[in-house]
Structure 1
């Protein structure tokens, strides 16, 4: 049986301004409920993947305020190029996780063949050379170690309007460290992502100027963006080149998860 507020007649008693406020509140509540449900789904998938694949001693790069869950018998070092205070400022919270410095692009402070796992969640899209970063992580794994990658699905984020990054693009980035496409990333951000985030569409004449300014300032952004199939193509390419196998390929709400095991 319908409740009174579920019938059209119930709303005749409210004036237009009151109805507008109530509708806005209802839409906000619906969004918050959907986000909470989505967050719960992501947490369940992450815990399940960790339980199945994470064991021993490893690292997570760029955990920030949202470290990946690991089983209680596993040991994890949390690395970032920023220290605690810098991360707290970036994420606007003191609840950040960092053990020491690790560069997610190179992992140059980590010995080769030394880890049981490497976790990289919502990091690789910020790197100028994602293929190089994936290979660097795999080289740090012991035989049979796992590389757990999590990446946002561009169709579910602010990146939805920008061009997807093709495999050819990241292979070129591996050759020059991403220098040749760095400005392109900032231009795409100004042209496609900035309007999604702010509601402001920049004049074409302003895009190049602002992109160059943001690049000089070192603005942190998504250098690359992929739909699920596009990112899988890159993971598959690297796995084949490194004699690895892909053991899991999952999606949850707005992120895609991959587990690559070193051969």
Structure 2
């Protein structure tokens, strides 16, 4: 994986210094996360689990006051010198209606509304309309951007609310290691058109595509009866309409790691967004990015 990161960085970023920075921090994370041979199991009561990769990166980069978008039931564990306000588009008690789709309930998804983070700010994470410009030391958005119909707009607004020098901590699912693996990667031209024209043109396509993923995953988990042929096509169409009716937070987009990096590099050129990519870290089924906002106008 380290070789892959080197190739991506050199090909798309064209800077050995960035490659060195990525490798140096990756080495540091790997050293801290490694369990010495013969050490007690992390599950032992006498031996606490070592910090996760996510936590180590947070320790390295996060301080001050910021927001986490869409923490759901898995907020990022942050260092003690930080203060986090949680932002989401709805309160936990509003979620049940969205998850009652195609005969399924929140229990079928493994969600307990009581375990969800209660947001301090109820707002659309894509627009961040209730968060002022240049007000945050950091923004955390883990497994959020793929849920945005207009991810470039969302990314731009995350940077908008950061102070100069502020950190955007962003993780995206690597589609090849998730239920999205049966989809085609979202090309840059698609998200660019979503940004220029608005996402209405691709909305039905997104729900139809995600319905296929949803049904495939649901049948694999015996949540849906097995169907094939025309019967399956008709059922997928029904599920797509149910998901759209409930305004279900689907994965509107899906990317491989190479697609993610390509997108973020192109955005610097296309929009003149002022940021540096400080870290790209493959972490199991996700890729973690650290962006630093640099003093310049966000166009």
TM-score (norm: length of structure 1): 0.78
Shift of 1:205: 4.4
SS at match of 2:79: coil
Q: Quick one: structure 1 residues 130 and 201, their matched pair in 2 at CA, closer, same or farther if it must change by over 3 Å?
A: farther
Alignment of 1:215-254 (within 5 A): 215-240=244-269, 241-254=272-285
Which has the greater radius of gyration?
1
For 2:255 and 2:123, locate their aligned partners in 1 and report how far apart those are by CA, in whole Å.
Answer: 25
CA distances 1:109-143 after superposition (whole Å, capped 9, x unpaired): 10101111001011111110001100011011111
Shift of 1:95: 2.3
| Aligned residue number for residue 5 of structure 2 | none
Does residue 177 of structure 2 align to residue 132 of structure 1?
no
| Aligned residue number for residue 26 of structure 1 | none
Q: 2:116 aligns with which of 96, 99, 116?
A: 96
Contact 1:135 1:238 (C-alpha < 8 Å) held by counterparts: no
Q: Quick one: structure 1 residues 85 and 176, their matched pair in 2 at CA, closer, same or farther if it must change by over 3 Å?
A: same
Shift of 1:231: 1.4
For 1:121 and 1:249, locate their aligned partners in 2 and report how far apart those are by CA, in whole Å.
Answer: 14
Shift of 1:179: 1.0
Alignment of 1:173-184 (within 5 A): 173-184=194-205
Gaps of 5+ in 1: 1-35
Contact 2:134 2:163 (C-alpha < 8 Å) held by counterparts: yes
For 1:187 and 1:253, locate their aligned partners in 2 and report how far apart those are by CA, in whole Å.
Answer: 28
For 1:166 and 1:103, locate their aligned partners in 2 and report how far apart those are by CA, in whole Å.
Answer: 24
Greater relative contact order (Cα < 8 A, sep 6+)? 2
For 1:139 and 1:206, locate their aligned partners in 2 and report how far apart those are by CA, in whole Å.
Answer: 42
Contact 2:92 2:113 (C-alpha < 8 Å) held by counterparts: no
| Aligned residue number for residue 58 of structure 1 | 66
Contact 1:154 1:160 (C-alpha < 8 Å) held by counterparts: yes
For 1:103 and 1:135, locate their aligned partners in 2 and report how far apart those are by CA, in whole Å.
Answer: 14
For 2:123 and 2:234, locate their aligned partners in 1 and report how far apart those are by CA, in whole Å.
Answer: 39
| Aligned residue number for residue 111 of structure 1 | 132
Does residue 278 of structure 2 align to residue 257 of structure 1?
no
SS at match of 1:221: coil
What is the RMSD computed on CA atoms of the aligned residues? 2.1
Alignment of 1:1-263 (within 5 A): 44-86=52-94, 91-97=111-117, 98-199=119-220, 200-201=226-227, 203-240=232-269, 241-263=272-294
Contact 1:186 1:214 (C-alpha < 8 Å) held by counterparts: yes
For 2:190 and 2:227, locate their aligned partners in 1 and report how far apart those are by CA, in whole Å.
Answer: 26
Contact 1:159 1:192 (C-alpha < 8 Å) held by counterparts: yes
**Superposition misfits of 4+ residues, deviation over 6 angstroms:** none
For 2:247 and 2:124, locate their aligned partners in 1 and report how far apart those are by CA, in whole Å.
Answer: 16
The alignment covers a number of residue pairs equal to 224
TM-score (norm: length of structure 2): 0.69
53-62 or 232-241: which moved more?
232-241
For 2:262 and 2:215, locate their aligned partners in 1 and report how far apart those are by CA, in whole Å.
Answer: 27
For 1:82 and 1:239, locate their aligned partners in 2 and report how far apart those are by CA, in whole Å.
Answer: 32
Shift of 1:106: 0.3
Shift of 1:210: 3.7
Shift of 1:77: 0.3
Q: Quick one: structure 1 residues 55 and 201, their matched pair in 2 at CA, closer, same or farther if it must change by over 3 Å?
A: farther
